[in-house]
Structures are given as structure tokens and as C-alpha cells.
Structure 1
Amino acid sequence: MANRAYNFNAGPAALPLEVLQKAQQEFVEFDNSGMSLMEMSHRGAIYEKVHYEAEKLLKELLGVPDGYKVLFVQGGASTQFAMIPMNLLRPGTKAAYVATGSWATKAIQEAKLFGETVVAASSEANAYKHIPAIGELNVPADAAYVHLTSNETIEGTQWSEYPDTGSIPLIGDLSSDILCRPINVSQFGMIYAGAQKNLGPSGVTIVIIREDLIAKPSLTVPTMLRYDTHAKADSLYNTPPTFAIYMAGEVLKWVKANGGAAGMEARNREKADLLYGTIDDSQGYYRGFAERGSRSLMNVTFRLATEELEKLFVKESEAQGFVGLKGHRSVGGLRASIYNAVPVESVRALEDFMRDFQQRNG
């Protein structure tokens, strides 16, 4: 479509055009039912088919092994920051976290409300410009779990490999890089992700949790904030975000049709190489924020010499149809989020704009 923006928003973010067009076609009447999916009961056979198909596809594309449960919950990843310690902390145990940036810090702050929390490793001293080396982690033996943020959207850093935490469950916030590449789910006790970056629209959060971790909490936890509540009811204890789950299912079909997780990784590396190459070739005009070994495939963060120049960059880019290139308000700078659904063509257009902007304003 000629009037589609070059969408580099950090979330909610770009969705595949084919998925949007299919949803548009099915919106008013779904599956010859005489009504929209938005109007029908979540207890009916038509919606249940959508629900379980999305679950099945997610398991297939991530290679989820037996012994794990997939949950569709609400409240975003931010609610998971509280649900994790509420459900998994036990008397005499600690919550261990790796502090890698803004989102990891928010998770740590929530955990402190429910029990003793330790920082197993941190990159704060370096302004969160890198991911700590796996060998730096200092996990106490009485840790209930180790939590990491796989990709920091604000700082633009990402774990290239995950630590082996042995018998202590590893929990990963994969909100901004789930299905951007293949992973070994069995390394984790639990994975969670808000859908609105790589899986669909906002409104549904994915939880993939090992079944032995689903137990009655030791704390007094409200019914809707317990993993066992949702696991026992197949995420149908209450009305789920039906349309968001439908859309996630359609995005998962698109991922499968485009090579699965491996296909997404090839696509994402091509996009990342284009932008990081432009930054590195600029002879310091564009300055990448993240250290090279920790650069994200999903969020390319960079700076210019002055804030005035950055404001001009945003203004001129918006005039040419680019959206979402202003950095997060907490850190400033510039950021291009290149999630799975962002087309390579959009990234090439941004590369051309960046080179032209440097030539005109260098």
C-alpha cells in the first residue's frame, strides 16, 4: 500500500500487512458465524478453535517441549513483574535478577515488594550499554529463580546466549525479542512476553511455564494473579482478550509461512546489519549506544552530536513518512525498532535517509 508509514515504533509496533488485511476481511463476520469474533462468547466452539490453534502454533514455532504450559494472560509484562515473585518465592529463598537496563530495573523494583531480592550481575556502572558476561553472574544457592530481560528496548542491548542456571529456574522476559530467532526453551523455567512487539497487538501476554513451577503460592495471592488459576482453566478462567489472541494466532501463521524462528532470524539480521553498518560507516556521525557485542537485533539505538541535530533528524524523518525514531523519553537519542514484521524495504529506506541526512548536515 502506497500510504503505509515506515513504522519503527517500539511497541505497539508494526504488524504484517497480510495479517492486517486478513483481519480486516474477517472482522465483521468470522467463520460464517453471522457475527464478528469480537462479539462471540469465549466459551463457544468457534473461539475455542482459534484459542487452541494459537497455543499449538506457539509451541510448534518455539519448540516448546513436553512439561510446559502455555498461558494467555492480561496485564502486560509489567504485571508479570509482580506475579513472578508472588507465585514463585518461597520462605527462605531469594529472587535473583540480572540488571541490564530500564525494564530489568522495573522487574527488580516489583520483586522487592514480596521478598528478599539480589542482583546477580549488573551493567549499571556502564550506563547499561552492555549485557554482563555469563561468567559474571553470582547466583546465591538459595535463589528461587534467576530473572533476566532478554532484550532491553530502551537501551538497545540483547543477550546473545543465555546462562545455564542449573537446578535454579531461569526466567526470561522476552517481550521484545520472542521469536526473533530460535531459542532453547528447555533452558528456561519460564518465559513471558507482552505480544505488542513481535506477536500481535497489545492486550495479551504470553506465559510459557514449566509445569513443576505451577503450584499454590506460599503468599496469599489473588485468584487472577495465580498461575495455577490460568493453567487449570487453559487460560479461559475469565474472559480472555479474544481478538488479541486471534491476531497473535494470525501473526504466528505468518511467522510459520516465512520460515519460522530461523526465517525471522535471517530477516532480522539482514535489517540489523543494514542499520549498524550505516552507523559504523558514518565515521562517528552516528554513535551507537550499545556496545558492539551486546547490540540488539530488535532495537537499534544511536545518538548524534547534539540534541538539536537529533530533533532535526526526527522532524525531517517524520516529514518523509518515518514513524517512531525518537528515543525513549528517559534516555533521549534515537531508536529504530526493527521487529519481525518491519519490512526490509523500510529499513533500506531508513538507511538511505540516514546517509542523506549526514551528507546534508555533516
Structure 2
Amino acid sequence: MSPTQTLSHAIIDQWADNPKGPVALILKQKLLPVDGEGGVIFPPTYADIGYSIDTLSDGTKVAQIDSVPSQANRSEPVFMDEEYKQLVPQIEINLGNKDDPERKVSILELAHRAGDAVVRSTDELAAEIDEAFKSLLRTHNAVPLAKLAPTSLVFGAWDSRGTQVKRPRLIRSIIRAEDVEVLSTAAQYNSVWKLLDDDQKKALTDEAKKQKVKLSVKGFNDVPAPKGLGGIIARGPITRQVTINLIALQSIKGDSDESTRQLKRYLLALALVAATAETELYLREGCLLRCADEADVWEAVARRGASQLYSLSADQERLLIKDYAQQAAATFGVKQPEKTYQFNIKKAKELLAKKEEAESDAEG
């Protein structure tokens, strides 16, 4: 590694502009449970497997604390916050009708972003997004999509219900804990049963038999809960790793050299905002974390040889990146929509019919 340098606007420009520059930016943040090292935290549970824990060849167990899609879903709504909302178009879709006209959803909240079924179930927005994806498909010009839904380029998108265009993530983030030990838990539900008199118990017992239900199902008898997952203790580090793919960034084009330069700086700025904005680390019940580092250190991974490190205190870094992003958005020409788009139930039904037709063709 080369000695650590101070992060600056000029450095970020170089990352965006130089096609022969670093291949990736990596940020590793050490996280801690709020009650300190060794505190119990609860990873997500998945069907059939419980916690996602891998055992390495040396016996070390590594647990996934937050997945890549989950991290993206936590980061993208940052651009709805007052502090950052002017950086991207605030496109909204009204899901209501004449009787319920204010049931709106932001495109930043949709799981599949510009490729979401809700977008395809509008009239005007669906047409605009379709043309933007076609521009990307035919001429590799990503500017039309960036003018409408830039986070679809930052966090990735697949227009699976239309053009089939796929864009990889520019930013990928995941949280893992190393050298973990899995705990178990058990519980006991104590009902009011012991406080009832004999007549009340008999009346409830007779009624339960008549209705063919168990007293415990209705909350009138004690129930021991079976042994279950009780969280983990991480003996090793809990790390949030953010990777910004500069090769994927360099593959994005505009319709001229200048528009390409502006577009790449803008998208890199959004990725850096997503990486460094203070999002809450309350991931789920029993998993409240905090960042242990006072400064972030970025590693610019070279194509060959030693990588370069860049650092600023966390507060200085956020201010610098926010300022850079505001300038990049202004130069790129971010415009806020003048209207709310309307969800069309007829279009949604047509989308379902098209899917059924495709499935019928596949079966045939």
C-alpha cells in the first residue's frame, strides 16, 4: 500500500475520468454492537437454512449480517432525504384513483427501480423509461436513463418486463461477521390458566372440545416454545465492505465525450453518497450496530502493483462528497419532474396477460 493521502474533488475526478485508472474503490468500516465487542446480535433468517453462516476450510464461521440487496434497499432511500433529494429526480407514481388520489410511491422505493412492474403499469413514465432502456441497448447512451432514474445505474437494474437490458451495480455493499458462535434460545408462554377457578377451567375446556380447538391456540394454556435461534457472538470483526466498480463505471457512455465525462462524475458522486451517508444501522430486532471508525479509508485498487489509500474524517468526508455531488448534479443537469405519474390498473392487467402468454408459449 502507498502512504495515505487526503481525499479531494480532484482525486474523485481522476477516479471518474481516467479509463486506465483504478479498477475499484473499497471502503471497509468496522462495526460494533451497541453494547460493545462480544455483544449478541441477530443476523437475518432465511427459509430452510436459518442464519446464513459459512464454515471456512480452517473451521472459522462467517455470518452474513446484511446482504447486498438489503444494503442497497437501505442506501437508495437516502436520496429521498431533504439533504440529498435534489441530487436525483424525485419521480413519484400515484397508486390511487379518483377516490384515493394521494397514495404515492417513489421510484426510489421500488425493488426493481426503473424495471419495476409498477413503472411498466403507467402510461407516460413507462414510455419514457422504455425509450431510455432502448437508447442504452442500441447506442450504449445511458444519459436518458440517468435523467429519469439514475439510481437504476448506480444500484443496478434489469428491465425484465421490457427490453431485457441489464445494468450491473456500480456499488456493492455487504456486512459480515467473522469467527462467530451461534446461540440458541427457548421461551415459555405463561397464560392466565392458573388464575382461573375450577368452574372457569371446566367451562373453557368443554368449549374447546366442542369447538375442536386447543386451549393453548387461543391463549388459555401455557405453551413452551421450542429451542430456536438466539443470535450470534462475533469473536472476530464485523465489517461493512463497500465496493465501487470503476470498470463498470467506465463502460457507461453518453452521446459525446463531454456528456460521458459529466455522466460518469455524476454517477460516481451518487455511489459515493450512498457509501458514506449516515444510514441507520438498526438492521432488525436484536441487531443494532454502530460504526467504530472516526475516519473512513478508501482503497483505490490499482490494475497492477500497490493500491493507494485516501482518507478524511467521517464528517469531513461526507461534506466533501456532498459538495462534489451537488456540483456534479448541477453540471449534469438534474431536473425535478413537474408532475406525478399515474398507475394504470388496465396496464397492470395487460402486463399480467403478457406474462401468462409468455408462460403459455414456454409451456407449449
Normalized against structure 1, the TM-score is what?
0.22
Asked which structure has the greater CA Rg, the reply is 2
Return the structure number with greater relative CO, CA threshold 8 A, min gap 6.
2
Higher share of residues assigned strand: 2
